[in-house]
A and B are shown apart, each in its own frame.
Chain A
Amino acid sequence: MDALTSQKWDRAAGRYDLFSAGAEKRWAEAKQKFFAPMRGNVLFLAIGTGLDFQFFPPGQDIVALDISPEMIERARPRAAAYKGRIELRLLDVHELDAEEAFDQVFTACTFCSVPDPVNGLRRLHRALKPGGELRMFEHTGSRWFPFSMMLHLMTPISRLSGPELNRPTVANVAKAGFTVREVDNLYLDIVKTITAVK
Chain B
Amino acid sequence: METRLYFLFGDILSNTLLGAIVGALAAFCFNDRWPMLAAMVVGMFASMLLSAIFGALLGILYGAFELMAPLMLTAMVAGMALPMSAAMEPLDPLQAAKIGAAIGLLVLAGTYILNAALRGKERQWTR
Contacts and interface: CB of A to CB of B under 8 A. Distances in A.
Interface of A: 18-19, 21-23, 25-27, 139-144, 146-147, 150, 153-154, 157, 167-171, 180, 182-192
Given A157-B52, A188-B118, A146 B127 contact: no
B65 A146 contact: no
Q: Is the interface of B mostly helix, strand, loop or mixed?
A: helix
Contacts of B118: 144, 185, 188-189
A142 B127 contact: yes
Q: Is the interface of A mostly helix, strand, loop or mixed?
A: mixed
B93 interface: no
For the complex of A and B, the 3 pairs showing the least CB-CB separation, nearest first, are A26-B63, A22-B63, A23-B63
Interface of B: 6-7, 10, 48, 52, 56, 58-69, 72-73, 76, 111, 114-115, 118-122, 125-127
Contacts of A182: 121
A33 to B, nearest CB: 14
A140 B120 contact: no
Given A183-B122, A190-B69, A150 B127 contact: no
Contacts of A27: 63
A185 B119 CA distance: 5
Nearest to B119: A185
A84 B72 CA distance: 42
A188 B64 contact: no
A145 to B, nearest CB: 11
A150 B72 contact: yes
26 contacts: A18-B60, A21-B61, A22-B10, A22-B60, A22-B62, A23-B65, A26-B63, A27-B63, A142-B127, A146-B73, A147-B72, A147-B73, A150-B72, A150-B73, A154-B72, A167-B127, A168-B126, A170-B126, A171-B126, A182-B121, A186-B119, A187-B119, A188-B111, A188-B119, A191-B66, A192-B122
Contacts of A18: 60
Nearest to A148: B127
A151 to B, nearest CB: 8
